[in-house]
Amino acid sequence: MERTIALAGNPNVGKSTVFNALTGMKQHTGNWPGKTVATASGTCMWDGCLYRLVDLPGCYSLLAHSEEEEVARDFICFSHPDAVVAVCDATCLERNLNLVLQILEITDRVVLCVNLQDEAEKKKIRIHLSLLSERLGIPVVGTSARDGKGLADIFHALSDLERQPYFRQITRYPDILESAIQEMEKTAADFLPDPSIARWCAVRLLESDGYFPDAPKDEKGTPLPEIPQIRRKLSALSVSLSPQGWNAEKIRDCIAETFIKRAETLCRECVRFEDPQYAKKDRKLDFLFTSKATGFPIMLLFLFLLFWITVNGANLPSSLLSDVLFSVEDWLYDTARSLGIPETVYAPLIFGIYRVLAWVISVMLPPMAIFFPLFTLLEDFGYLPRVAFNLDRCFQKCHACGKQALTMCMGLGCNAVGVTGCRIIDSPRERMIAVLTNSLVPCNGRFPMILAVITMFLAGNTEGFAASFLPAFFLSLVIVLGIVMTLLASRFLSGTLLKGMPSSFTLELPPFRRPQFGKVIVRSVLDRTVFVLGRAVITAAPAGLLIWIMANVTVGDVPILTYCTDFLDPFARMLGLDGVILMSFILGMPANEIVLPIMLMTYLSQGTLTELADLQVMKSLLVENGWTWITAVCVILFSLMHWPCTTTCLTIRKETKSTKWMFLSILLPAAMGMVSCFVFATAARFFSGMF
Amino acid sequence: MRDMYICLSDLKPGESGVVTGFAKKAFLRRRLQDLGIIAGTPIHCIGKSPLGDPQAYLVRRTVIALRKKDAAQIFVREVA
């Protein structure tokens, strides 16, 4: 037997946590509204029955003002899941019940899952689950999914739903409206292939004067509002209702209010707040994180701390890894020679593929594997919505949406994820701005490179405290520059290609939660490592091979590689870079992690050095190839602003459904980067020539 | 008499009010209703962002941030 179960609920109630706990999957979770933007599905077995679980995006209602709501509504209304598990946050049940009541209007196969019982317990919020179940006429279970508590009860409730009769208590409207709805319902039921949604359709028809996009169709394929009988019924009803003041607007308001008021009544009966000051800690933290005096300093402090821990934590594993990996390289080389393997076979394998992989792992992986879990902890705690709250004014000035700050935060992890995350922005214009500018935040694959360059050229000759302080400080500056550039680009776009005024903005600031330290750290370190390694093997290995071949195949005594870099060189010099750097950025397009390794590899193949043990040796290689602090700054600027990686480009095309916008998302940051590099290099050369 | 029709955006941090209605064509109306903001709902301003806008409001035990221009669409009666 197979059953499809939809998981629905408000944003940020732990739906994804419930989903992961049930399916054993690793859908990324975080404490901010809108984390799940696409539906995920997974399966699990329980009591001999195969359950297919669908994690719907979080929404506040099914009345479809946004893409997520539309996805959730369509799935519940038209995909006929065997049951819907409505997940609620026990600490703010009242607001959550609004959606549950709406779902209940569509289907009677609903299980209410009151999640985050542990948080409610802490705040001394008591919920009378059995009374709630009686009032709603559906099974109600209490869970705290993070600790795996109560999950089995969900399955018990699902099978209860099959076996014993429950009589859902649908929400009744004021009499005059209720009788009109029932009349409409009867007419609609005759035409619907699935009459169970007739009441829901009747309400939609009445509240909108028949304007009902994506309405269900009858058997002949005519949409409901276009069926003559329905239209006649509708106008008859509005003739009788409107003299009494019941126009569409009043009906809409009345419907919304009826749900809200019923949720209020239910909570008054079933929920007891034993500690009236239960949210005191949240309010104190909110004051700390968002007040005029402390809001921005704390934000910058968090940013700095994140990088400080990353930088210093990465040093040791980085040098250990490179020692090990490069001694393995020597060993491979010796073994290959002693086995008599011809050089044309082992050289590309060892000096091409293996070496690039070794660099990706030793230089790029440790900072990535440290930064990501730290950031996830901050996310789990609930800090990110406060960032959006603090920065919203700036985005408003740029005619964009404050939630763009959330998508930028996601971009710090991975720009492709950030681009998908832009779905949380309701206005299409503002969403497009967020998509196009997302790559101006350096992703996890880029900042280890920025960090390496900073350590080598800008903060290298310091000792003690400064040595641990400066790289993190410069890196934070780079991120701040990325934010400024994002704002400038957003302003530019909303004044030119994407003209318009800022739309409305509602953002929930969820309660703070204690992050799940152990779970987050273990999972994100492992996931990150596996992900980076996987991508490195797929992209770095062929790139390494390609470079080796280009460096060793010669046309008239000059390697092909030199032809390419010489060709790019004049243009790159204008930008303060050189041909090798620009070529590495081009070849590194499949994954930003491999840009620096490709660069080193290319210099190496043209120079005399054969081995790179640490950053100091790496620096001497770069200096030998003409790098100065100006080159370093230009490389940093260019890695902050150039084309997005291939994955991000493809994601942008998927999200915008347009190749044109994808090209713009490549052109925009590339142009910004080129102009910045050119201006900086020209100015710096001019001034350094003066002194 | 300041008690009749002030806007939600006029509430300062620490002040409370009860929603009395929406501006005629409030664009946000449905969204606000979904968040539980209807006539008669008590609402409390708990703070503003460092740059002064948006402000954060406590409604039905959840915290919602609204921009000033959106909050100006909501009428409230101030309560002590």
Q: Decide if B47 and A290 are in contact by the 8 Å CB cutoff.
A: yes
**Number of domains comprising chain B:** 1
Q: Are A90 and A124 in contact (CB under 8 A)?
A: no
- The pLDDT value recorded for residue A619 is 87
Mean pLDDT within A417-443:
89
| Cβ-based neighbour number of residue A620 at 10 Å | 14
Q: Decide if B28 and A506 are in contact by the 8 Å CB cutoff.
A: yes
How close does chain B come to A353, measured CA to CA in Å?
51
- The pLDDT value recorded for residue A114 is 96
| Cβ-based neighbour number of residue A190 at 10 Å | 12
* CA distance to A142, A425, A677, per residue, from A680 (Å): 59, 35, 5
Helix (H/G/I), strand (E/B), else coil: A303: helix
Residue A512 lies in a domain: no
Mean pLDDT within A9-22:
86
Q: Are A676 and A637 in contact (CB under 8 A)?
A: yes
Phi first, then psi, for residue A660 (nearest 5°) are -60, -50
Q: Are residues A632 and A556 in the same domain?
A: yes
Chain B contact for A334 (CB, 8 A cutoff) = no
The shortest CB-CB distance from A390 to any of B32, B49, B61 is to B49
Residue B77 structure tokens: 């009666």
Q: Are residues A159 and A181 in the same domain?
A: no
Mean pLDDT within A583-608:
83
- The pLDDT value recorded for residue A221 is 84
**At residue A363, does pLDDT exceed 90?**
no
Mean pLDDT within A323-347:
89
Question: Chain B residue with minimal CA distance to A426?
Answer: B31
% of chain A exceeding 90 in pLDDT: 42
Q: Decide if B67 and A290 are in contact by the 8 Å CB cutoff.
A: no
Chain A contact for B64 (CB, 8 A cutoff) = yes
Residue A620 lies in a domain: yes
Residue B1 lies in a domain: no
Q: Decide if A394 and B51 are in contact by the 8 Å CB cutoff.
A: yes
Domain of residue A27, CATH code: 3.40.50.300
Q: Decide if B36 and A263 are in contact by the 8 Å CB cutoff.
A: yes
Chain B contact for A98 (CB, 8 A cutoff) = yes
- The pLDDT value recorded for residue A413 is 82
The shortest CB-CB distance from B50 to any of A95, A261, A390 is to A390
In angstroms, the CA A370 to CA A316 distance is 12
- The pLDDT value recorded for residue B1 is 43
Domain holding B14, by residue range, is 6-79
- The pLDDT value recorded for residue B54 is 92
Domain of residue B57, CATH code: 2.30.30.90
**At residue A150, does pLDDT exceed 50?**
yes
Q: Decide if A283 and B46 are in contact by the 8 Å CB cutoff.
A: yes
- End-of-domain residue from the set A120, A139, A163: A163
Q: Are residues A116 and A13 in the same domain?
A: yes
Model's pTM, two decimal places?
0.88
Mean pLDDT within A405-425:
87
The shortest CB-CB distance from B31 to any of A283, A396, A506 is to A506
The shortest CB-CB distance from B50 to any of A290, A396, A509 is to A290
In angstroms, the CA A391 to CA A568 distance is 40
In angstroms, the CA A283 to CA A509 distance is 11
Chain A contact for B5 (CB, 8 A cutoff) = no
Q: Decide if B39 and A286 are in contact by the 8 Å CB cutoff.
A: no
- The pLDDT value recorded for residue A554 is 85
Mean pLDDT within A662-679:
96
In angstroms, the CA A532 to CA A320 distance is 18
Q: With bands split at pLDDT 50, 70 and 90, how would you rate the model's confidence at A671?
A: very high
Residue A17 lies in a domain: yes
In angstroms, the CA A508 to CA B73 distance is 18
- End-of-domain residue from the set A163, A183, A215: A163
Listing DSSP states for A523-548 in one string gives HHHHHHHHHHHHHIIIIIHHHHHHHH
- On the 0-12 / 13-18 / 19+ scale of CB atoms within 10 A, B3 is exposed
Q: Are A289 and A386 in contact (CB under 8 A)?
A: yes
- End-of-domain residue from the set A243, A273, A303: A273
Counting one residue from A and one from B, how many pairs have CB atoms under 8 Å apart? 116
In angstroms, the CA A427 to CA A105 distance is 28
Q: Are residues A213 and A68 in the same domain?
A: no
A295: which chain B residues are within 8 Å (Cβ-Cβ)? 49-50
In angstroms, the CA A161 to CA A139 distance is 7
DSSP state at residue A508: E
Specify the higher pLDDT residue, A288 or A161: A288
Of the listed ranges A263-272, A340-349, A562-571, B39-48, the one predicted with least confidence: A340-349
Chain B contact for A276 (CB, 8 A cutoff) = no
Of the candidates A365, A301, A308, A350, the residue with the CA atom closest to the CA atom of residue A526 = A365
Domain of residue A249, CATH code: 1.10.287
Q: Are strands B42-48 and B55-59 parallel, antiparallel or unpaired?
A: antiparallel
Mean pLDDT within A380-386:
91
Chain A contact for B77 (CB, 8 A cutoff) = no
Residue B19 lies in a domain: yes
Cis-peptide, bond into residue A243, ω within 30° of zero: no
Q: Are residues A181 and A93 in the same domain?
A: no
- The pLDDT value recorded for residue A612 is 59
**At residue A524, does pLDDT exceed 90?**
no
- The pLDDT value recorded for residue A533 is 74
Of the candidates A154, A1, A170, the residue with the CA atom closest to the CA atom of residue A85 = A154
* Averaged pLDDT of chain A: 87
- The pLDDT value recorded for residue A17 is 86
DSSP state at residue A149: B
**Cα A377 → chain centroid:** 15
pLDDT tens-digit map of A596-637: 888 888 888 765 445 555 677 888 889 988 999 999 999 999
Q: With bands split at pLDDT 50, 70 and 90, how would you rate the model's confidence at B64?
A: very high
How close does chain A come to B47, measured CA to CA in Å?
7
Which residues lie closer than 8 Å to A127 by C-beta, 6 or more apart?
A90, A93, A114, A120, A142, A270, A271, A272
- The pLDDT value recorded for residue B31 is 85
Helix (H/G/I), strand (E/B), else coil: A62: coil
- The pLDDT value recorded for residue A153 is 93
Q: Decide if A509 and B34 are in contact by the 8 Å CB cutoff.
A: no
Dihedral sign (CA A368, A369, A371, A373):
positive
Residue A50 lies in a domain: yes
Q: Are residues A242 and A375 in the same domain?
A: no
Q: Are A618 and A640 in contact (CB under 8 A)?
A: no
Diameter of chain B measured on Cα atoms: 31
Question: Chain B residue with minimal CA distance to A387?
Answer: B49
Mean pLDDT within A378-382:
88
Residue A508 lies in a domain: no
Q: Are residues A353 and A407 in the same domain?
A: yes
Q: Are residues A380 and A484 in the same domain?
A: yes
Quickly tell me which residue has 């010669």 as its tokens: A554
Q: Decide if A286 and B28 are in contact by the 8 Å CB cutoff.
A: no
pLDDT tens-digit map of A244-295: 888 888 898 899 999 999 999 999 999 999 998 888 999 999 999 999 999 9
Q: With bands split at pLDDT 50, 70 and 90, how would you rate the model's confidence at A161?
A: confident
Q: Are strands A2-9 and A83-89 parallel, antiparallel or unpaired?
A: parallel
Cα torsion for A223, A226, A227, A228, to the nearest 10°?
180
- The pLDDT value recorded for residue B27 is 66
Domain holding A466, by residue range, is 295-499+532-690
- On the 0-12 / 13-18 / 19+ scale of CB atoms within 10 A, A689 is exposed
| Cβ-based neighbour number of residue A23 at 10 Å | 18
Listing DSSP states for B37-78 in one string gives --TT-EEEEEEE-TTS-SEEEEETTEEEEE-HHHHTTEEEEE
**Number of domains comprising chain A:** 3
In angstroms, the CA A534 to CA A360 distance is 11
Chain B contact for A402 (CB, 8 A cutoff) = yes
Of the listed ranges A19-23, A67-71, A95-99, A149-153, the one predicted with least confidence: A67-71
Residue A282 lies in a domain: no
Phi first, then psi, for residue A625 (nearest 5°) are -95, 20
B30: which chain A residues are within 8 Å (Cβ-Cβ)? 61, 63, 65, 252, 256
Q: Are residues A20 and A100 in the same domain?
A: yes
Q: Are A423 and A37 in contact (CB under 8 A)?
A: yes
pLDDT tens-digit map of A540-560: 888 888 888 888 888 888 888
pLDDT tens-digit map of A168-219: 888 999 999 999 999 999 999 988 888 888 999 999 888 876 677 778 888 8
In angstroms, the CA A232 to CA A438 distance is 50
Q: Decide if B60 and A63 are in contact by the 8 Å CB cutoff.
A: no
Q: Are residues A215 and A301 in the same domain?
A: no
- The pLDDT value recorded for residue B80 is 74
How close does chain B come to A437, measured CA to CA in Å?
23
Q: Are residues A219 and A354 in the same domain?
A: no
Residue A507 lies in a domain: no
H-type alpha helices, A79-116: 93-106
**At residue A495, does pLDDT exceed 60?**
yes
* CA distance to A206, A225, A231, A491, A555, per residue, from A211 (Å): 9, 7, 11, 35, 70
A60: which chain B residues are within 8 Å (Cβ-Cβ)? 31, 34-35
% of chain A exceeding 70 in pLDDT: 95
pLDDT tens-digit map of A93-149: 999 999 999 999 999 899 999 999 999 999 999 999 999 999 999 999 999 988 889
Q: Which amino acid is at A196?
A: S
Q: Decide if A506 and B52 are in contact by the 8 Å CB cutoff.
A: no
A91: which chain B residues are within 8 Å (Cβ-Cβ)? 61
Q: With bands split at pLDDT 50, 70 and 90, how would you rate the model's confidence at B2?
A: very low
- The pLDDT value recorded for residue A13 is 87
Residue A146 lies in a domain: yes
Q: Are residues A20 and A121 in the same domain?
A: yes
The shortest CB-CB distance from B56 to any of A98, A253, A389 is to A389
- The pLDDT value recorded for residue A609 is 47
Of the candidates A466, A303, A502, A240, the residue with the CA atom closest to the CA atom of residue A392 = A502
Buried b (16+ CB within 10 A) or exposed e, A105-127: bbbbbbbbbbbbbbbbeebebeb
A95: which chain B residues are within 8 Å (Cβ-Cβ)? 35-36, 59-62
In angstroms, the CA A412 to CA A416 distance is 10
How close does chain B come to A247, measured CA to CA in Å?
14
